[in-house]
Chains A and B, each alone.
Chain A
C-alpha cells in the first residue's frame, strides 16, 4: 500500500507540475506571460475549498460518482504501470473506461454543452484504435504484453523507439490527443465551454484535476517505459518534460480540428503507422 500511495502522490504532484509547465509553454509561444508552473497544482487544491452546489438538472449520484470513477480508473493506471509493471491490456481497458467517463460525465449534467461533449466522446473513441494497434505491434515485436517483459526485452534488444518508431509515433498521437488544448480534443472544444466538465465546478472540478494530473503522468510513464525501456529518475523527468514541451508547442500553434477531421486524421495516421510498422517487423 505504501508503494501505491507514494506513486499516487508522485503522479499527482508531477502530473500537476507538468500540466502547469504545459500551460506556461503554450502561453510563452503565444507571447503571453502565462500563469506560474505551480498554478495547476494550486488550482486543484484550491477548488477543494470553493463554494460548490449541485445544479438542479444533474443526476446527482451519477454526477458525483463519475468523478469518483475517473479517479479510481487512473489509480488502476498507477497500479498497473509504475507499481506492478503489469499487462498493457489492462491499461487499454483503463483508457476505454476513461472514454466512458467522458461520455457519462457529459450526460449526467443537464447542460447541452455537456451532452454535446458526451456525443463527441463516442466519436473520439477513434483515439483508442492507435492505442490498441500499438499494443498489438509491441506484442508482435516482443511476444509479451507485460510491461516488465517489455523492459527486459529492451534491455537485451535495444529501445523499441528505434526498432518500431512508427508505433511510438502512434502512441505519441494518443499523448497529443490527451494533452490540454489538443487539436484532437473535440470533447473539450471551447465552443462547448468546458465540454463534459462544464457542470463540474468547485470541489468536483478539483477532483477531476487531481485525476487528470495522475492520468498525464501515467500516460507519459507508459510511453517512456514501453519505447525507451526502464529509465533512471532523471531520465523519466527529462523525458516527461520534453514530451510536455513538444505537445504544448504543437497545441499552441494548432487550432482545434472539427470532429470529422479529428477522427479521420487519427485513423489515417494510425493506419499508415500500423501498416508501416508491420512492414518493418515482417520484411
Chain B
C-alpha cells in the first residue's frame, strides 16, 4: 500500500510537470499531443488512486471478495 502511494505521488508529479512543461517549452505538435493523451489520464488516475478511500484493515478481506462469481 505504501509502495502504491509512493508510485502514485511520483506519477502525479511527473504528469503535472509534463503537462506544465508544454506551457513553458515550445514543443512540436506531436510531442504536445502525446503528452496530452498520456499525461492527462495519468494525472487523473494517480490523483484518484491517492484520493480514494481505502477499506479498514479488518474489512479488506471482505471487500476484495468477488461478489458475483461465487468462488
Contact = CB atoms under 8 A, between A and B. Distances in A.
A9 B60 CA distance: 35
Given A48-B51, A49-B52, A75-B36, A111 B23 contact: no
Interface string B20-54: 00110000000011011110111011011101111
B13 to A, nearest CB: 17
A54 B36 contact: no
A49 B51 contact: yes
A23 B48 CA distance: 25
A210 interface: yes
Contact of A51 (B37, B55, B67): B55
Given A112-B68, A207-B48, A53 B60 contact: yes
Interface string A209-242: 0100000000000000000000000000000000
Interface in A5-44: 5, 8
Given A4-B32, A4-B36, A5-B19, A56 B64 contact: yes
A71 interface: yes
Contacts of A261: none
Given A56-B64, A112-B68, A112-B69, A2 B45 contact: no
A79 interface: yes
B58 interface: no
A75 B40 contact: yes
B67 to A, nearest CB: 8
Contacts of B52: 48-52, 202-203
A1 B36 contact: yes
Contact of B64 (A4, A55, A76): A55
B53 A50 contact: yes
A79 B45 contact: no
A71 B44 contact: yes
A55 B51 contact: no
B69 A72 contact: no
A68 B66 contact: no
Nearest to A8: B40
A96 interface: no
A71 B69 CA distance: 28
B58 to A, nearest CB: 13
Contacts of A5: 19, 36, 40
Interface of B: 19, 22-23, 32-33, 35-38, 40-42, 44-45, 47-49, 51-55, 60, 63-69, 71
Interface of A: 1-2, 4-5, 8, 48-57, 64, 67-68, 71-72, 75-76, 79, 110-113, 193, 198-199, 202-204, 206-207, 210
Given A1-B22, A67-B45, A202-B53, 9 more contacts: A49-B53, A50-B53, A52-B52, A56-B64, A57-B66, A71-B41, A72-B37, A75-B41, A79-B36
